[in-house]
Amino acid sequence: MMRRLAQLCLLTGALWAGLALAAADTPPGFALSSAHPDATAAGVEILEAGGNAFDAAVAVSAALAVVEPTGSGMGGGGFWLLHLADTGRQVMVDGREEAPSAATATLYQNDAGEVVPQLSRDGALAAAIPGQPAALVHLAKEYGRLPLARSLAPAIRLARDGFPVDGPLLARLAYRFQALAKSPAAARVFLPDGGLPAPDSLIRQPDLADMLERLAREGRDGFYTGEYARRLVDGVRAAGGIWRMEDLARYQVREREPITLELDGLRLVSASPPSSGGVVLSQVMQVLSLTEALSRPPVDRKHLVIEALRTAYRDRAAWLGDPDHVDMPITRLTSAEYAAEIAAEIDLEQARRSADLAPPQQLYADRPNTTHFSIIDAEGNRVAATLSINLSFGSAYMVPGTGILLNDEMDDFSAKPGVPNAYGLVGTQANAVGPGRRPLSSMTPTFVETGDRVAVLGTPGGSRIITMVLLGVLATLDGADAQTIVSAPRYHHQYLPDAVYYEPGAFTEAEQAELEARGFTLRSAGREYGNFHAVLWNTADHQLDAAADPRGIGTAAVRLAPAAESP
Ligand code: GLY
């Protein structure tokens, strides 16, 4: 007999009952985790110099732009989710890239109306107007305690003096070799003598150091107007791009209300559009609560997670885009009533089919990209920041004389309804290319607050970001420590393609057999993915815990304040 779950929707979802919101208190020190040891050290330096979490976020973001150019950069953008300890205010700083004013809905289609993927992935036409420089100035001015020049100092040092080539960087340079070789400025920095650099040789970026110094001196105008902006626009246009001076001049950071979900004592605070992350997480968590997923056997929990993701990613494709340009049914998508409708459709004996919900399957593509860091300072301020230039090294085009490696975030738009982007994600007019629009993102910087802990979570990983964060939220609710949260094997479903992708170890053999018997298509991802960073403040026992994903080379740091170290 079918085990329809409709009746469960009547239950109150007691799985998180008993959790009260985190008590007001201050942590015993500070903790952070990022994707590169030099970036973590930059954050530690700034916190030890008297900066707060927001100054440290500026330092870590800028340092990552230098030492992890595959993932994010001053030519890219991101979302910085902030918690201000003194007022309890939470805000998302939206430094997402924006389409240039000459962008049109068919920009990445040929005369026959076919999408030409390379156009939105490699080279200057793929680049949207960067948001990170404006966001760092905004963070320092509105929320920081130290001068911008102080917070940028570690990154400037790393850019000028150089940093040693590490394994992941070398692997990604090899992967993007052809595209980078076409950009003389990028090749000069990353491909000495036209080939791959030797392991541990130093990468120096003097133009980027100059740019950061200019930003410290002149603020946003040092990037978005004047002689430097002219250099950017001329370089982009000479390489086939469509930027105009006014596109840079009008770029503004936006402050957005995060998506917040309060559910049985859990408080989840996450990224709002133009990120899809918070909406997907909110919908999925409510479906999991209604179906009592956390208290079920592991295989049933996984079944429910996959089915909840299937619908949530369908809705992502159908509805979500730039909130300044698209009306989105966010209230409905994140409502308890809608979650109950979804829960009622799930059958614990049989997988549904995405084709019954919408159009044809396309192949999944995933490339290492993006970056994340998490910080809690000794006052209880928090930053969860996920930053990107999209695919590894973004567009792989460096504008001559600027030090700026441009993003290829235009590929996050839906180049044509129903045609998948590099992550296999489909979309509709809601996420069409258009002048001044911000492409829909999966970046999901997230805070989890329960009765006895606060977690600052996030990861890179394209369309898989949201499912990784979801699994991190569930692990947090299970009481896992930071190392377990970042290490746990992952699985993913994004509606189309209609398959569950998994890392080795995500399912036991018995679970795999059972899920296949229920009708799910399981495909090994073929490798590990993600680079998760978790910082936990256990308010009940006054402990800080932080961990960097063992899949990457990042590091975490916990420093106790002197008073907290005394018995
Ligand atoms: N560029 C990846 C994302 O924003 O989802």
Q: Look up residue 213 and give its amino acid.
A: E
Classify burial at 183, counting beta carbons within 10 Å of its beta carbon; exposed 0-12, middle 13-18, buried 19 or more. Answer: buried
* pLDDT given for residue 489 in this prediction: 97
Is residue 181 domain-shared with residue 53, that is, in the same domain? yes
Per the model's pLDDT, the better-predicted residue between 451 and 101 turns out to be 101
Residue 87 within any structural domain of the chain: no
Which pLDDT score, from 0 to 100, does residue 563 have? Answer: 62
Q: Let me know if residue 565 belongs to a domain.
A: no
Question: Is position 442 annotated in a ligand binding site?
Answer: yes
Q: Which ligand 1 atom sits nearest the alpha carbon of residue 391?
A: 1
Q: Is 370 a catalytic residue?
A: yes
Same domain? 145 vs 271? no
**CA-to-CA distance for 382 and 535, rounded, in angstroms?**
10
Place of tokens 């001068």: 147
Same domain, 536 and 457: yes
* Positions of E strands within 140-190: 163-164
- Give domain status of residue 240, yes or no: yes
Same domain (yes/no): 230, 278: no
404 is in an annotated binding site: no
pLDDT band for 21, please (50, 70, 90 cuts): very low
Residue with the smallest CA separation from ligand 1 atom 3 is 441
Nearest CA, atom 1, ligand 1: 390
Q: Could you tell me the distance, in angstroms and rounded to a whole number, from the CA of residue 109 to the centre of ligand 1?
A: 21
Q: Would residue 140 count as lying in a domain?
A: yes
Same domain, 237 and 269: no
CA of 464 to the centre of ligand 1 (A): 10
User: Does any domain span residue 437?
Assistant: no
Do 163 and 55 share a domain, yes or no? yes
pLDDT at 283: 97
Which amino acid residue places its CA nearest to atom 4 of ligand 1?
Answer: 441
Residues 132 and 172 placed together within one structural domain of the fold: yes
Q: Report whether 462 belongs to an annotated binding site.
A: yes
DSSP class per residue in 318-378: HH---TTT----HHHHT-HHHHHHHHHH-BTTB---HHHHSS-----------EEEEEE-T
46 assigned binding-site residue:
no
Instruction: Specify the pTM.
Output: 0.91
Same domain, 246 and 260: no
Q: Which of 313, 372, 412, 425 has most ligand 1 atoms within 8 Å of its beta carbon, as the pocket-test mutant?
A: 412
Report if residue 70 sits inside a domain.
yes
The binding-site residues of ligand 1, defined as CB within 6 angstroms of any ligand atom, are 370, 388, 390, 409, 412, 441-443, 462
- Could you tell me if 154 and 172 lie in one domain? yes
Percent of the chain having pLDDT more than 90? 86
- Buried b / exposed e over 478-511, threshold 16 CB at 10 Å, is eebbbbebbbbebbbbbbbbbbbbbbeebbeeeb
The CATH number covering residue 548 comes to 3.60.20.40
CB 371 within 8 A of CB 554: no
- pLDDT of 10 higher than 70: no
Indicate whether 20 belongs to any domain: no
Q: Are 456 and 388 contained in the same domain?
A: no
How many Å lie between the centroid of ligand 1 and the Cα of residue 338?
26
Residue 8 has pLDDT above 90, yes or no: no
Among the options 40, 370, 402, 476, which is catalytic? Answer: 370
| 200 and 236 both lie in a single domain | yes
**What is the number of the ligand 1 atom nearest to the C-alpha of 96?**
4
Ligand 1 atom nearest 409 alpha carbon: 1
CA 191–ligand 1 middle distance (angstroms): 26
Which atom of ligand 1 has the smallest separation from the CA of 388? 1
Measured in Å, residue 441 CA sits from the centre of ligand 1 at 4
For the CA of 412, the closest atom of ligand 1 is 1
Range of the domain at 316: 256-358+444-560
- d(C-alpha 348, C-alpha 339), whole Å: 16
pLDDT tens digit sequence for 100-132: 999 999 999 999 999 999 999 999 999 999 999
pLDDT tens-digit profile of 218-268? 999 999 999 999 999 999 999 999 999 999 999 999 999 999 999 989 999
| Average pLDDT across the chain, whole number | 92
In a domain, 24, yes or no: no
Task: Give residue-wise pLDDT tens across range 135-157.
Answer: 999 999 999 999 999 999 999 99
Residues 135 and 184 both lie in one domain: yes
Cα(406) to centroid(ligand 1), Å? 14
Look at residue 564 and tell me whether its pLDDT is greater than 70: no
Number of domains in the chain: 2
441 assigned binding-site residue: yes
In this prediction, residue 61 has a pLDDT band, given cuts at 50, 70 and 90, of very high
CA distances from 427 to 79, 119, 266, 417 (A): 21, 18, 31, 5
Give the residue carrying structure tokens 């256990």.
538
